[in-house]
Every structure is written in C-alpha cells, then in structure tokens.
Structure 1
C-alpha cells in the first residue's frame, strides 16, 4: 500500500515539474523533515541530467541510497547554469518531505537563498562536486579540490611542452561558477602563467557543452592556428575542442589536457584525442553524501566542512615530475573508487 501511494504521488509530481522546467527521477510526499527521525529521505539536484558526469553521480547516489534503505529522488537544471531550475528543484524537494538535499550548484551563489530556507526548515544540505560561496551556505561539501585538479592539468601540459613557451587556448566552463574559476586558476598555477599573460592567445566559455566548445574553438582558430597547448575545463568540452582542432589538422601538433575521468574521457586519452585527463571520483562523493544523509536521519548528527575526494592524472604519455596512472588503470577506475 505504501509503495503504491509513493507511485501515485510520483506521477502527480512528475506532471507538475514538467510544467516548471525541471527534470525528475522519483518523488514522495510530505513536508520538509529534520534529522533524528530514523527514515532517510534524500533529494539530489544536479546541474543537468545529460552530462555523463552528473548521470554517474546520480546513479551512484541512487544505488547507495537503495543499499541503505533510504528513499531517493533526483532533479536537475535544464542546462549548466540554470539557477532558476535548481531553485525550483530545491523548493520541490522540500515540499516532498526530504530531510537531506545533495546539490551540485550551477552557480556558487545562485541558489543560496533556497538552500538557506531548506536549512532553516531542518533539512541537511550537502554540496557535491561544486562548493558554494560562502562555503558555510551548506552544512558540508564532498568534492574534488578543483584548484588542485587544475594545477595537475597545468603541470602536465607544462612538462609536455618540454621547455617551449606556451601558445595557449583556454576553453572555460560557465562564467561565475566556482568550479570554472578554481580549475582555471589552478591550471595557470600549474603551467606557471598569470591570467593576463601574452602566452594565452585565446579563450572562450563553453558552459560545459561539447557543441559550444567546438564552435568557440573554431572561432578562435580563425584568428590563429599557431597553438601548442590547450586547457579544457571538462571532457565534453575537450571532445568539442578536439573536433575543432582535428578539422584544422592541429590535434596531433599540440598538448591538450582536461578534467573529469569518465570512461569516455579516458578512452579519448587512450585514442590520442588529448594527452591527459584528471580523474575525479563522483561515485565517492555520492556515496559519502548518502552515508551522511542516512546518519543524519538516524541520529541528527551533521557533517561539517570540506571533504576532498581526490584526483589523479591519467595519461599514456607520463611526464617527469607529474604523478600519473595509465589509461588501463583509468578504464578500471573511471569515476569510481581510487584503487
């Protein structure tokens, strides 16, 4: 009987959310709950439901919740940067009675008011993958140290240039997001350049999207093809960048790095589309977030602060001074636990 009631409510909420522009996985009914009730009701809000990285994070969270007997639902913005969609998702989750919200905020500041309302209602709020600004806007963050991941990519590209001066294109993500800014600054630290350095010969924002990256890089290449290094903020943008470079016969003449570490991205490294990627571990983020949610429901205890989940350079062209693993290792571990 209880399961049938949840199914009926889920159908109703799916219809309501379709009208509001959110995407939905599963729901239940009730008002926002607090810790110590013993029953974990977890809602996840990701930036999109199409990027493979967030698909993996959602599936890992759902599997972890099922393994621990917790109820679970997932919503997403319609695109990377859809702050309004994420705000609606948070509000819908509160209406459905969750006691924990896990969120990968599209903007580090765009959803703060909604998260504050959730916390005031007794909901545990945990950021996954992307930190909020200020960090205290959530109870805890389980994420990659994005500055360090960017620094690892930059150090690799610098080593691969073997002393040659960089002629660098930078393919950034969503302007204003903390992930974009942190990876960008970390990369520049790793390669040893200031943000206004003349060695940066072009830059474009692609909002994490493959097609936008291809278009943006094609536009940059109309100005110059004298390029020997490329930074990409994530692997979908690396794939778009590769298409643009390959169309000009440039892909094999330069060093490109990226960040994510999905199986498709590691395969791209193995196949020579780009030289290296920095693997993240969204499965670990999701599992640790769900474990904290279950503990909160059981005892009322909340996690605190930033919990780093690690990052590893994956390449088949190792460079001196840059610790890395092979693509064979990467394909065994893509987006999973470090081993």
Structure 2
C-alpha cells in the first residue's frame, strides 16, 4: 500500500474518532442540560430566620425536599415585618426558575404585586401560616385557622378565670398581618368581649419578640396595675410578658395565655409560667407545601382554597367544655428546642 494512502487513512481514522468523541461529549452535555432543566426548584420564604416556628418550618421543608428529590431554596426577611426583603426574595426565586414558592407573608396585602408576577410566570404560590388579603391572591393557603386558635385561647382564659372581673392586656404582633388580626379578634370572641370593651386595659405591639413583649407588658402594668389577663400573639411575647409580670410581683396573679406550641412554650405551661397555649403545626404546613409543588411539577394539578393544618389547646389545668391535651402530650408533639 502506498505511503500516502496509509497516511490519508490514518488521518481519516483520527478524524472519525474526533467526530465520534465530539458527538459523545455533546450528548453528555445535552444530557446534563436536560437533567438540570428537569430539576424542580421549590422556594420557601419565611418571615424571619430566628423564630423557632420558622426554623422548624424550614427544617421540615428541607427534609421533605430531600425525600422528594427536589431542590429547596430558603430565604427569609431580616426581621418580622420586612416586607421588602420578602419581595426581593421572591424576585430572586422567579429568576432562579422556581416551580413553586411557599411564603409566610410579613404583610398580607403588601406582597400582592410580586405574588401576581410569580403566578403569571407559571409559578405555584402557596401561603403558609399567614393568609394573604385577599385570600385568593395565592393559589392556596396551608395554615392554622388563626381565628379559631384565638378563640381557643380566649375561651380558656375566660373559663379559667370564672366570674372574676377582667382587665385584659393585648400583646399584639405586627400590624398588617392576617395572623395578628385573626388571633386578636379570635381571642376577644372567645373571651366574650368586643373591641373597645372597657375590660380591655390596653394593647402593645410586640412584633412577636420576647424583648418587645416584656417592654410592652411593663408599660401596660405601669399604667394599670389591675391587669389580670394577658393575650399574647405568640410564646416569645408571652415569655417577655412573664418576665415583666415577675418583675412587678404579679406572676401568680395574671391569666397569661398564648399560641404557638413550641417546646419552650409547652415547658412554660408545664412550669406554670403560662396557663395554656394553643399548639399549631409548622412542620405539617411545610411538608404539605413541598408535596403540593412536587405534584404540580409532575401533573400540573394545583391545590386551592384554605387548608386548616389544625390546632390543639395545651394545658395541665383543663376546664369544662374545652377539649385540651396536657403538657406530656404537648412535649411529644411540640417543635423547636
């Protein structure tokens, strides 16, 4: 065989090998791209990163996302009430290609535009814990019935106090959120009074924080030493209220109640700092949210409306007419440390 023919054949073989290798590399690249394109991204945007309720929600979402084989991107506001931070987080999640976004809105009406933008882009949006206003701004809401939880708290306080004349302090959360409004109104309903009733001794904004709960309670006690019942938006605020009551020497004289069901709060009930709390289930909200996004990604089916994730009254001093569980049950079912 002539030498030039051998060289040409060799060059042809090398060329064929290079083309085949190129096709293989391209195929692998396309396969990797398809895998990346098919990855389901779920966004979780909570009010803060430090509140034990939202910590548990994030942990539950992370665990469920791992189990379901989807990618979770978790973001949060810098503080309770950081509406702008949550809006920016959702913007980022839309850009990242999230298939679904789970959000606990800091302001129930302040995120409507960004939620609409997400839904218009084909993103499933589910509110967790806190409903939007209007409620149908999102595809669905998975949350505690916060009005009913407030009713449970107020009804317990009134029944446990018997015929004692009430002087009630209201330690509210953050204005503009449906959770705050529903729990506040529910407590009044359960207690059997209306807004403006003379038995309401005063109110303070706590943003659900322990330090602000203590300051608010101290200010209210300074104005009215007859306070004998305290509504609190959550257990951190209740812990602050207890510290203030103790400083005033009134810790054993006031009907202090709350809502949350965190392990620290249940221990406060067990130790007698709080008379009762209403447990809610953040892990159930998060798990159901992840499942809904996974189903939407697979089938296009969307959840709708309000789904009540439940609430349970926790106390070691039950009253007639109200269903409750004791702190032993509470410690088995609580969340947080």
TM-score band w.r.t. shorter chain: 0.7 to 0.9
Is 2:147 aligned against 1:155? no
In the alignment, is the contact (CA less than 8 A) between 1:275 and 1:315 conserved in 2?
A: yes
Q: Which residue of 1 aligns with 2:310?
A: 310
Q: Which residue of 1 aligns with 2:325?
A: 325
Instruction: Report the alpha carbon displacement of residue 39 of structure 1 after superposing the two structures with TM.
Output: 3.9
In the alignment, is the contact (CA less than 8 A) between 1:208 and 1:236 conserved in 2?
A: yes
The separation in 2 between residues aligned to 1:38 and 1:260, in whole angstroms, is: 38
More helix by share: 2
Partner deviation per Cα, 1:85-104 (whole Å, 9 max, x = no partner): 00000001111111100000
Q: Which residue of 2 aligns with 1:228?
A: 228
Q: Which residue of 2 aligns with 1:69?
A: 69
1:132 counterpart SS class = coil
Q: Which residue of 1 aligns with 2:94?
A: 94
1:236 counterpart SS class = helix
Q: Which residue of 2 aligns with 1:118?
A: 118
The separation in 2 between residues aligned to 1:48 and 1:138, in whole angstroms, is: 20
Instruction: Report the alpha carbon displacement of residue 40 of structure 1 after superposing the two structures with TM.
Output: 2.3
Q: Which residue of 2 aligns with 1:169?
A: 169
Partner deviation per Cα, 1:156-206 (whole Å, 9 max, x = no partner): 000111111211111000012110000000000000001100000111011
Runs of 5+ consecutive residues of structure 1 not aligned to the other structure: 1-29
The separation in 1 between residues aligned to 2:292 and 2:104, in whole angstroms, is: 16
Larger radius of gyration: 2
The separation in 2 between residues aligned to 1:124 and 1:82, in whole angstroms, is: 22
The separation in 2 between residues aligned to 1:228 and 1:209, in whole angstroms, is: 21
Is 2:78 aligned against 1:78? yes
The separation in 2 between residues aligned to 1:120 and 1:330, in whole angstroms, is: 42
Q: What do you get for the CA RMSD once the two structures are aligned?
A: 1.4
1:294 counterpart SS class = helix
The separation in 1 between residues aligned to 2:191 and 2:227, in whole angstroms, is: 15
The separation in 2 between residues aligned to 1:42 and 1:335, in whole angstroms, is: 23
1:118 counterpart SS class = helix
Runs of 5+ consecutive residues of structure 2 not aligned to the other structure: 1-32
1:222 counterpart SS class = helix
The separation in 2 between residues aligned to 1:287 and 1:48, in whole angstroms, is: 19
The separation in 1 between residues aligned to 2:203 and 2:162, in whole angstroms, is: 23
Instruction: Report the alpha carbon displacement of residue 335 of structure 1 after superposing the two structures with TM.
Output: 4.0
2:252 counterpart SS class = helix
Is 2:295 aligned against 1:295? yes
Partner deviation per Cα, 1:16-75 (whole Å, 9 max, x = no partner): xxxxxxxxxxxxxx9xx9xxx864210000000000000000110110111111110100
Instruction: Report the alpha carbon displacement of residue 308 of structure 1 after superposing the two structures with TM.
Output: 0.3
In the alignment, is the contact (CA less than 8 A) between 1:166 and 1:229 conserved in 2?
A: yes
Q: Which residue of 1 aligns with 2:207?
A: 207
Q: Which residue of 1 aligns with 2:24?
A: none
Q: Which residue of 2 aligns with 1:133?
A: 133
Instruction: Report the alpha carbon displacement of residue 321 of structure 1 after superposing the two structures with TM.
Output: 1.0
The separation in 2 between residues aligned to 1:281 and 1:81, in whole angstroms, is: 22
In the alignment, is the contact (CA less than 8 A) between 1:161 and 1:255 conserved in 2?
A: yes
The separation in 1 between residues aligned to 2:323 and 2:90, in whole angstroms, is: 39
Q: Which residue of 1 aligns with 2:9?
A: none
Q: Which residue of 2 aligns with 1:52?
A: 52
The separation in 2 between residues aligned to 1:138 and 1:88, in whole angstroms, is: 17
Moved over 3 A (4+): none
Q: Which residue of 2 aligns with 1:285?
A: 285
In the alignment, is the contact (CA less than 8 A) between 1:143 and 1:308 conserved in 2?
A: yes
Tell me the matched-pair count: 302
The separation in 1 between residues aligned to 2:223 and 2:141, in whole angstroms, is: 41
Q: Which residue of 1 aligns with 2:250?
A: 250
1:306 counterpart SS class = strand
**TM-score normalised by the chain length of structure 2:** 0.88
The separation in 2 between residues aligned to 1:44 and 1:104, in whole angstroms, is: 8
